[in-house]
Chains A and B, each alone.
Chain A
């Protein structure tokens, strides 16, 4: 079971208090984009064995969205950070690097 800390209210709780919201850091391709870009935006998702970035919502708490970096194999949580972030914060990246040197995830490494 995952134990997440909501960066908005500071509550640390297990995953049943939260709701998973799919992959984090998606870039929207809307009107004016190519069909391939739009297709990938809609359907192409990462499905990694290891480091993953996700959106979560503190559904049974403060109700806010946030982002989480975790490991899909060990369920280790590297950290949670505000949803208003375009890139994982450096300290979370460092924590992942300590565990998985040379990791990559989409454009992040």
Chain B
């Protein structure tokens, strides 16, 4: 059996902020009626958090849920727990109209750390990155240069970005370029 590997296997770059291609992250795409009680209970059971409000992410330790669209959540769980979590979801949601799929290996995740992370994001995405407009707990799907991406800030001065695995290298190169020393703008810090 081949071992699961994360895209770019922990590639790192140190510019005026640090860019890291993160390791394996369990992700489950869950579609259904987000207002339904059964779905809320299932999400709570698997991730420990309530269904997040639109454009928000709720995290509890290593697990969490992010609001993707009016009928879709992205559940984050440790990579090794995906199978159990899926089983649990299917058990708890049986009989309702829903879809739960393991998308862990279809995604790449990056973390950008440092003073200028807001600028790095603002260079690449059409998102208002002022502190008052985007903060901890906010979750945004958008585009990063030419590819779809989603981002949130788990803590101040740290951004986590998810994109498709097939474009992981492109995404990493983009972030590298935006974080290159000398590229500080100093407008959003």
Q: Is B140 located at the chain interface by the 8 A CB criterion?
A: yes
- Residues of A near B69 (CB, < 8 A) are 8-9, 61-64
- A11 adjacent to B148 (CB under 8 Å): no
Q: Is B142 located at the chain interface by the 8 A CB criterion?
A: yes
Q: Is A40 located at the chain interface by the 8 A CB criterion?
A: no
**Which one of A12-20, A23-31, A43-51, A93-101 contacts B?**
A12-20
- A62 adjacent to B70 (CB under 8 Å): yes
Size band of the interface chain B makes with A: 10 to 19
Q: Is A60 located at the chain interface by the 8 A CB criterion?
A: yes
Taking chain B's interface residues, is the majority helix, strand, or loop, or is none over half, making it mixed?
strand
- Residues of A near B68 (CB, < 8 A) are 62
Output the least CB separation between A94 and chain B (Å).
27
From B55, B70, B72, B142, contact of A60 by CB (8 A):
B142
- B70 adjacent to A64 (CB under 8 Å): yes
24 A/B residue pairs, CB under 8 Å, sorted by A: A8-B69, A8-B70, A9-B54, A9-B69, A9-B70, A10-B55, A11-B55, A11-B141, A11-B142, A13-B126, A13-B127, A16-B126, A16-B143, A17-B126, A17-B142, A17-B143, A59-B148, A60-B142, A60-B148, A61-B141, A62-B68, A62-B69, A63-B69, A64-B69
Chain A interfacial positions (CB closer than 8 Å to B): 8-11, 13-14, 16-17, 59-64
